[in-house]
Amino acid sequence: MPVLIVGSIALDTVKTPFEEHADLLGGSASYSALGASFFSPVNLVGVVGDDFPPAHIEFFQSREIDLAGMQRVPGKTFRWSGEYMLDMNVRETRSVELNVFEHFTPRLPVGYKETPYVLLANIGPDLQNHVLDQMQRPRFIIADTMDLWIKIAREELLRLLTRVDLLILNDSEARLLTEETSLVKAGAKIRALGPRYVVIKKGEHGALLFSEGRFFSCGAYPLEDIHDPTGAGDTFAGGLAGWLAAQDGKEVTFDLLRQAVVFGSVLASFNVEAFSLTRLRTLTQNDIDARYEGFRLMQQFELLD
């Protein structure tokens, strides 16, 4: 089954202590869509300017990512630039140019309105709500967010939380939203705001999944070389959403979500091995399955005697 993904499509400049690259394909929707495309068809909703390279459009199309919902308008594509410190969990945003994003209103083509799975990747919660306003009873709605919206659009975000099934956010965002130090308390507090399920990502330390009275802790696949963490969270969300959409319409339960969280983590672990979407371009189903199995064995405990 297809998954509808809305978010940013960007040209990024990324600096790490070792390398710097400019004008890379990025954006929350790009990473999420590519992550999901390993498992299910994607309906992509976003905006780009007339400077957006045609090669990126051809790349999306080559991955069963439908672009009927991608607006191409006069002006420059959204640009973001970030710099990582030696501890790559620490990042500073160097610049943001909204460009065509400033006046973006997502409009869903008629054929998208019944897409059964929805991933509202990171964009303003007003736009995420606007997408939901146009949808006809999706089976499962996932939303991602970031610190910026918790600070400047809290009311709109709280309205969104009453409408989604799963919220994905990182540890510092969960603390900012709930004013709790304990992530376990933060997870419970966010659930009380609306979503049945919550995933709190902890960067290279994995992710926590919360549901009513149940809890799953998933590690992150340990990597020797991390080249660019940009989009890890978006790829995680995309992999999770795409894998869920590929489960033949099975009811989304805690147990199904546990497995989806692992697939999201596997996809994200590949993404950080190279800048931009480079690693995902050559990733195969065999690579994914092999890492999933390695990950499974790594996380396994023996029974008590």
**Strand runs labelled E in the chain:** 3-6, 10-15, 20-26, 42-48, 65-72, 78-84, 91-97, 117-120, 140-144, 166-170, 197-201, 207-211, 214-218
Q: Is 106 in the site for ligand AMP (CB under 6 A)?
A: no
Q: Is 8 in the site for ligand AMP (CB under 6 A)?
A: yes
The CB-of-63 to ligand AMP minimum distance in angstroms stands at 17
Give Cα 210 to chain centroid, integer Å. 17
The answer to whether 59 and 281 are in contact (CB under 8 A) is: yes
Q: Is 173 in the site for ligand AMP (CB under 6 A)?
A: no
- By C-alpha distance, which of 224, 248, 220 is closest to 236? 220
- Comparison of 52 and 80: residue with beta carbon closer to ligand AMP: 80
Q: Which helix (H) or strand (E) holds 37?
A: none
Segment lying near ligand AMP (by CB under 6 A), choices 109-117, 185-193, 231-239, 297-305: 231-239
Segment lying near ligand AMP (by CB under 6 A), choices 20-28, 50-58, 103-111, 205-213: 20-28
The answer to whether 127 and 12 are in contact (CB under 8 A) is: no
Segment lying near ligand AMP (by CB under 6 A), choices 26-34, 157-165, 192-200, 212-220: 26-34
Q: Is 238 in the site for ligand AMP (CB under 6 A)?
A: no
Q: Is 165 in the site for ligand AMP (CB under 6 A)?
A: no
- By C-alpha distance, which of 229, 200, 227, 232 is closest to 35? 232
- What Cα–Cα distance (Å) separates residue 274 from each residue in 29, 218, 239, 302? 18, 23, 17, 35
- By C-alpha distance, which of 260, 271, 267, 262 is closest to 299? 262
Site string for ligand AMP, 65-104 (x = CB under 6 A): ---------------x------------------------
Residue whose C-beta lies closest to ligand AMP: 26
The CB-of-295 to ligand AMP minimum distance in angstroms stands at 20
Positions that interact with ligand AMP (CB under 6 A): 8, 10, 12, 26-28, 80, 122-123, 148, 230-234
